[in-house]
Structure 1
């Protein structure tokens, strides 16, 4: 007998270990698969998706929901299987010991199914509300941290604290509702378990007096039935709790799978590029129309222009004139509605996105540096030696600050907070210089630097970018007076194009190429300098 018990104990231990390992391994593999697919979908999503989706919602998917899939879901599935097998075993033993227990199974299962269905449908929706109410908290964290200086400047701390407390209060309400629903279920399960134990005991007493036509077994079997009926309350509670928790955890899977269907950028192209493309950097916009949303007016309206390779072009215009839209169309961040863009004789629509964007360099309006070493930020592909990197930093007048901060091996803090905004912009310009491409795009690269540094940057761009095609987006005309050409945009239309050339006495000679439309500056020479005449202001 002892040998049989040892065999059963050993088999139970081995099977329990196999079950736990299988769920842990299978859950980990599934979580890795879901994580990789989600990350790939988000990386390949178009810019419009991030413009329309709050950052807190994305962070919630990547943090709380993925943590649930990684950790909680495999654990709760393991418990669900164990409790289910335990309940089936108890039902078999009670049916074998007391035949009258079979009469209780159907009504008991009916009541139990009604209770669990009502609780599951409620708890599932409560979990959805819990996940939805958590997203504004993440969003508030991001907004308050990013805009802390602005909040302090306007003395709006109380407003944001009150709004954050409102978000936390809403989240606590949903969490409290989940706890109350769980207590509601626990009370009813205890009533059901007490009824099972009472029914087993009453049937044993009645059967012992011979009032029933069937034999209910020996007192030992009756004691066995009562001992197995007693833990039914905990098993019923564990089974329904684990089953309900599994459904609630699957809400996280459902929320993550929603992002598996987000629109994706078309990364493929049918054009094989030469390794040296673009050769000259000539860019032609042929009747290009760009619209960000169907309900919005076009940002570019039939734009046609040619940027000769190796020239430096400045683009100015009021806010919303379509300056940044030119770069969005060039990098295919937003699909154009009509027309085509030709770069050195190749339609960029036929080029894969990864190839296209890897052949251009850009300095964005909002500089961004990744967490890691400064060398990895400046040369992420590790194709430049230290001497070349230092030369690029020297051209951008940021070498001394980098040496004082710790050199190329210094660890950047999150979003490059080790440097000021202007210094981060200079580092982004140095990164663009290191890319060694024929096309360089600058989106307000001097917006966050002082006048003296901006003048040095203009000199660096003029001297170091000779022979390159440079497209500079600017609000101030003084920023782009040294350029070969100046384009003026208004409501997505090219309204003026001037050719500026270095003249005598350091002046600028401006050759008008188009008529001025209302409200835009006209550039004229005035005594060897530059005169900006305001028209229509």
Structure 2
């Protein structure tokens, strides 16, 4: 609009002056030049508006960078006492105690964990259930100190986790997530990215989870060979086998087993499964759980369950509700006494019966 007004004004001036300067050749040339420059102003104005918009967008990016620079950093990754001899084999048992643990993800937000008080015995298998938003995954967040507690403490084998460096703490806890994370490279680089173990040890953990092609005879009944047919079982022939980005050349079950093998390699005394079997079928789920109980029998395993049947054979069941431990006991005791856990089991059994009836009708 501004460019159009400028062109219109130039033309009107030339017309109004024509009466007095009509025979002047210089005037005619200057009038034409003025109108030509006026026509080019529109393009210049468009460029100015575009540059102004780009500047505003870039200033938003600068504002975000400034905001990120002011975000408080994590706690120190290493501390002086991390090199003490007492931490060389810590934790030895895997005993975990939550004492009035309170956690919120940001200041001024509501608490997600609201005074959690539980004691997890060493080498026990704990199943964690609860409705969406009950605080199940927040247990893992608090144990790994991804978010610091607002109040209370978490003690592992008598050591408050806030007194150790993040590198030490996170290296002693194995996490098996719902979506297995694999990187482009080889099986060796995915199992042992820092080259800390020999090939013999790497082959051993692959054999224990039933992924190694050499596992032909004498296989334990707890392995996962029945997860796939013979062609799938030959998926890993050597440690040099290629792994695509995200492990797309392996099935979901095989990717999950590689992650389990990685946890076995580290020999962690605390293992957290965050709905690790939610993306596999029930049969594969059962076999993975059997391997977990066998291969991690000397570790404390915390299983955040998506399916109730996944944790029915656990030593203890933790029922989370609204950020607190609503129930925490052996599964048989919870089923006998009634409560949230028995309601969840009843709902699961009813759903299973409906599916069976529907399949029978088909």
TM-score, scaled to structure 2: 0.69
Equivalent position of 2:38 in the other structure: none
Measured against aligned partners, the alpha-carbon deviations of 1:441-471 in whole angstroms (never above 9, x if no partner) come to 1111211222222222122111111221111
Change (3 A) 1:129 1:432: same
Task: Return the match for 1:263 from 72, 87, 112.
Answer: 72
Aligned ranges for residues 475-490 of structure 1 at < 5 Å?
475-490=306-321
Separation in 1, partners of 2:257, 2:302: 17
**Residue 262 of structure 2: SS of its match in structure 1?**
helix
RMSD: 3.2
**Residue 521 of structure 1: SS of its match in structure 2?**
helix
**Residue 273 of structure 2: SS of its match in structure 1?**
strand
Separation in 1, partners of 2:208, 2:290: 9
Task: Return the match for 1:128 from 33, 55, 61.
Answer: 55
Aligned ranges for residues 116-155 of structure 1 at < 5 Å?
125-129=52-56
Aligned ranges for residues 398-437 of structure 1 at < 5 Å?
398-400=211-213, 401=232, 403-404=234-235, 407-437=238-268
Q: Unaligned stretches of 5+ in structure 2?
A: 1-44, 214-231, 351-362
Separation in 2, partners of 1:356, 1:513: 35
Q: Do 2:275 and 2:304's aligned partners in 1 also have CA atoms closer than 8 Å?
A: yes
Equivalent position of 2:342 in the other structure: 521
Change (3 A) 1:487 1:514: farther
Change (3 A) 1:119 1:349: farther
Equivalent position of 2:150 in the other structure: 337
Task: Return the match for 1:469 from 300, 319, 332.
Answer: 300
Measured against aligned partners, the alpha-carbon deviations of 1:92-138 in whole angstroms (never above 9, x if no partner) come to xxxxxxxxxxxxxxxxxxxxxxxxxx9999786444356589xxxxx
Task: Return the match for 1:353 from 147, 162, 166.
Answer: 166
Q: Do 1:496 and 1:516's aligned partners in 2 also have CA atoms closer than 8 Å?
A: no
Aligned ranges for residues 145-224 of structure 1 at < 5 Å?
none
* Residue 291 of structure 1 pairs with residue 89 of structure 2: no
Separation in 2, partners of 1:497, 1:431: 30
**Residue 391 of structure 1: SS of its match in structure 2?**
helix
Task: Return the match for 1:511 from 333, 337, 358.
Answer: 333
Separation in 2, partners of 1:492, 1:387: 44
Task: Return the match for 2:93 from 260, 280, 301.
Answer: 280
**Residue 418 of structure 1: SS of its match in structure 2?**
coil
| Superposed displacement of residue 255, structure 1 | 7.2
Change (3 A) 1:412 1:402: farther
Separation in 1, partners of 2:146, 2:290: 30
Report 1 or 2 for greater relative contact order, CA contacts < 8 Å, sequence distance ≥ 6: 2
Equivalent position of 2:135 in the other structure: 322
**Residue 389 of structure 1: SS of its match in structure 2?**
helix
Q: Do 2:334 and 2:342's aligned partners in 1 also have CA atoms closer than 8 Å?
A: no
Change (3 A) 1:381 1:496: same
What is the count of residue pairs matched by the alignment?
A: 283
Measured against aligned partners, the alpha-carbon deviations of 1:167-189 in whole angstroms (never above 9, x if no partner) come to xxxxxxxxxxxxxxxxxxxxxxx
Q: Which has the larger radius of gyration?
A: 1
Q: Unaligned stretches of 5+ in structure 1?
A: 1-117, 134-250, 501-509, 524-531
**Residue 462 of structure 1: SS of its match in structure 2?**
helix
